[in-house]
A and B are shown apart, each in its own frame.
Chain A
């Protein structure tokens, strides 16, 4: 199908996955209301499965979108968006699966949880596909508002409320910066359309009005906040730590991936002509994030908090791919986001599983001897941790190798060195958990008996673990798709600016 966005119907088709998901979410809300007797009653398990079905339906619509081409609208219809959408839907599906037992244990199994989660995903998808700065902002807000609520969803836990408040207040700053940046960019160029922006700006950094540069800077600040790059990460550990763990997983994967997708689209495509200037900013962000986050992660005693810092550190690695800003970098970027989503969601899944009742056992000591009493669970966790560290036999290795190559192809040698040094630091804290699991005896023979890993959670963790391994042994399928999906994104850029594809 060809879409030229001359009529509104084209927008309907272009937004089909988002529309399917929104309508489905409302359906879930209605079903929840009708199926339970009183307001205070917990929702039925079927609600979660219904939500999952909605994610699947959106994925089907996304598959259909592959057959569609579109140009000129506010919505991008390209491989990049489709690939990003799959990552986001995957993150959502994993989050729903790990939520199922969790919500019951924490006495917050209410249908709204899934509905809000689905709306957040709609926001993420719009964010990743917006071809216009205003629509991008709408997507961002839709995602953020839903996530603010979800972070504070556990009303019995004051930390959850505190996390939500902090995230909301600081997130408001970030939104303000982003909006201000959009306004300045519009003022300087007279357009908010990403493709037109690229044309208007052209290649002349020298001629670019200062106003435009300020706008670009403020946009960078807003995005850096959302992807949790240092020093805009300050909210992250508290918000990740306080939020219900499935939401932490979603924030670390989906929210970050969506913000990154938008960031790449805006900066590499629209502001490609200003490459020389913004690369400096992202260079520093990436370097600071990689070094700082890894150092601070070293000192964490809580595994959940360590994973929060780990997700910040990984934002730094992805930023390296952004700095590379060539086609290799963009493909590396997509591949890494996929691997990262799988391994991070899986790792948080284990954090959820290592719990008794509503008490999560997140300290390092709580993992002692897990390798012998819960071999499958510990093996899965070891796979995720090794993948996060970037070891062979896991997709994390291929992803990091890919980013490393992109950085070297773009002659970013110092950044590549920092990436490697940072990975080295990260070995220490990832491996520490593995050591504790396998080499420190459990306090008692039944310390880890009867952990509450629900069946859906097992499925999620299993899928993630198999995915992480598969991405090592057969990366070709996904890498081809990733390269194919960024090809279109960069053709114009390459013609315009002669950015290298790398070897």
Chain B
């Protein structure tokens, strides 16, 4: 079983990789093999678990991190495997004829990798593995949307789609990790077993909301519904596969995976019902407004995804069968319609209703018109089509579902379904019967195109018809193998509901006749757009980021130094404040000879001020030396004559070196800093100096410190046989450190040599040759 599942996931990636190296047109033929294999292996799988079994295949990845690669098949998963395989086969065949030479190896690689990633999502048992494939679909779809490179629109749409689904992906990741933290496992099968405990724990809400976010962004639910129409720059087969049949259904699939865990959660039903129905309505409205037929289909896809989301809220009533009927219905008719719009664009040179409706192509394109008509009727939910069963199930779920009495839900459903009638009629009647205006006389741009562009959608629509004519047998096969579908039949009750249905159709037809007037209604056309809000957020973030960038990064090291010093001082002062103590808890210690110390202190302070304020280099250096000599005097007061001698020596050498260097350097110019800057620098210097000084002073008054020093003094003579404790520390107690410091000094000298070394060498290689010439 492991082999079967591994092949199902792996074969698209493998063939995709091969397609990169095999030339056209062979790679197109090869690509067919991937979905064909998936179907061939998926069918027995479906027969096995479709009736309700489960298969779990353990696979190790990294157990300590909770990363397993366990695979898991149940009815939902196997259904999706078949769906991805069958629609995928149609898409590959269609793409070969639609894209022709644009179907490069890169395209096949991306398309098949996407297919493999989708299969990974639906077969993963570990939620982390599911997430990995989830993000892979995000990346591959991002690249597929943008494959028409050069088009600014495509790039923008791709990025927008990516960012929205990326946000959702991250939310999903955190949700998964939190859920794993809560339950102690990432594996679905184990999570299912403990759903009662999880829901009983009030902490389950946050992960659930985050997982919802992941599902809603992927499935373009309100308020994230804008990215899907934006992603429509992709070629027709990509839109058909990614944006109607599979990828956007990943969100719905995720809800299906979560259902057994969270179905009893308090927020499950209200959230899904609300978001789903709002999406259904808002997207339906957008579809009515659209003139570009592909945009219309995109909005109608979003609307149907709303239906699927809401159905998971009402799941308990209609069960998995109801959901699967709807998923199947939508995948079949919507992908066909996308493919047919692709055909229309090739055949008639446009997909804009404003152009097409003037021509009334019905006489010319009977086959195409029939197919689009079937698709549009399925969209409306006409009898003798699978769409009827699906819509029926949904109405039943809403009307008879667990939130009985909530008439608002039913009103929204009726309203949104009426909108669906309008845009379905626009799509079909609008194009083929046209407006009442006389034809423009624009010539018929019949391009020579392959019949496959009609055959593939026709094959995909076939199950719609079969399912509509013999529903009980058909649904028994494809929704619940080996049984006769009991299902639900809203239409069996021929009462007031029938009246509502007929009223919807009539209203829809009326709406279609006047859709432009409706779409232009001022109130309705000013619905708030989340997209604008999102774009505003992005541009606002960018603006703030650049001002932050300017604030931090303009200027030389004085500003950088000021920032570092001030923050460091803030850490010190904040630390003192935080601790609730003062630095001088232990009193003030003045040192051994306070009565004499004021004089060198004064000298050092004055010299320090001069070092900063003098404008010539050499006096500056001299003043700096005065500071150093003053320090030496301090050391004498503290009874450290050898330290004082060392200090004197260092100062003398430094000042001589500085004077030698300064002789060869140009004199300093005027201070070009503004007065304000000088004041700021002065304040920074004083604050830092005072704080560090206070710290040093306080350090001297801590008695804990004595322990350390006395220890060294006590041990110097007996252990190291030295009377000069400083020397003993340097060469004996801390000899290693001294060695290290010598090493550092050596490197510093070597580095200085490397930098100051006289001439630069001539460039080598070909450039040198050029220089010589």
- Taking Cβ atoms with an 8 Å cutoff, the residues of A that contact B are 11, 22, 39-42, 74, 104-105, 107-110, 112-113, 115-116, 119, 126, 132, 134-135, 138-139, 141-142, 145-146, 148-149, 152-153, 155-156, 165-166, 169-170, 173-174, 177, 180, 183-184, 186-191, 209-211, 213-214, 217-218, 220-221, 225, 231-232, 234-235, 237-238, 277, 280-281, 292, 295-296, 298-300, 357-358, 386, 391-393, 397-398, 401-402, 404-405, 408-409, 416-417, 420, 423-425, 427-428, 431, 435, 438-441, 475-476, 479-480, 483, 503
Contact = CB atoms under 8 A, between A and B. Distances in A.
Given A134-B734, A401-B128, A439-B158, A483 B757 contact: no
B561 interface: yes
Interface stretch (B34-42, B161-169, B673-681): B161-169
B141 to A, nearest CB: 13
Interface in B167-211: 167, 170-171, 173-174, 177-178, 181, 184
A479 B702 contact: no
B545 A386 contact: no
A386 B150 CA distance: 22
Given A40-B760, A173-B564, A475 B67 contact: yes
Contacts of A190: 704-705, 707-708, 711
A405 B178 CA distance: 9
A11 B736 contact: yes
Interface of B: 61-62, 64-67, 128, 131-133, 135-136, 139, 142-143, 146, 149-150, 154-155, 158-159, 162-163, 166-167, 170-171, 173-174, 177-178, 181, 184, 541-542, 544-546, 548-549, 552-553, 556-557, 559-561, 563-565, 567-568, 571-572, 575-576, 578-579, 581, 583, 585, 692, 695, 698-699, 702, 704-705, 707-708, 711, 734, 736-737, 740-741, 743-744, 747-748, 750-755, 757-765, 767
Given A105-B767, A187-B704, A479-B62, A152 B755 contact: yes
A298 B542 CA distance: 7
Given A405-B65, A435-B146, A220 B545 contact: no
Given A281-B571, A392-B135, A409-B181, A39 B757 contact: yes
Given A188-B704, A210-B576, A479-B65, 5 more contacts: A107-B767, A217-B575, A281-B571, A299-B546, A441-B150
Given A186-B708, A221-B568, A221-B571, A401 B545 contact: no
B656 to A, nearest CB: 22
B702 A188 contact: yes
27 contacts: A39-B759, A41-B761, A42-B764, A113-B754, A142-B743, A145-B748, A170-B560, A210-B576, A214-B695, A218-B571, A218-B572, A231-B564, A234-B559, A235-B557, A277-B578, A296-B553, A298-B541, A401-B177, A404-B177, A408-B178, A409-B181, A417-B174, A424-B170, A431-B162, A435-B158, A476-B62, A479-B64
A180 B692 contact: yes
Contacts of B741: 138, 141
Contact of B755 (A132, A155, A214, A277): A155
A142 to B, nearest CB: 5
Contacts of B178: 408
A35 to B, nearest CB: 14
B567 A138 contact: no
A298 B560 CA distance: 21
A51 B66 CA distance: 41
A153 B139 CA distance: 40
B560 A299 contact: no
Nearest to B740: A138
A107 B699 contact: no
A210 B761 CA distance: 55
A108 B704 CA distance: 53
Given A145-B747, A435-B159, A211 B763 contact: no
Please report whether the interface of chain A is mostly helix, strand, loop or mixed according to DSSP: helix
Closest 10 CB pairs of A and B: A149-B751, A138-B740, A190-B708, A107-B763, A234-B560, A392-B132, A42-B764, A112-B754, A187-B705, A295-B545
B744 A234 contact: no
Given A138-B741, A234-B564, A441-B150, A210 B177 contact: no
Contact of A213 (B128, B568, B575): B575
Given A145-B751, A211-B699, A292-B548, A440 B149 contact: yes
A112 B740 contact: no
Contact of B166 (A277, A408, A427): A427
Contacts of B181: 405, 408-409, 503
Contact of B149 (A214, A235, A441): A441
Given A107-B763, A232-B567, A214 B572 contact: yes
A423 B760 CA distance: 44
Nearest to B767: A357
Nearest to A184: B699
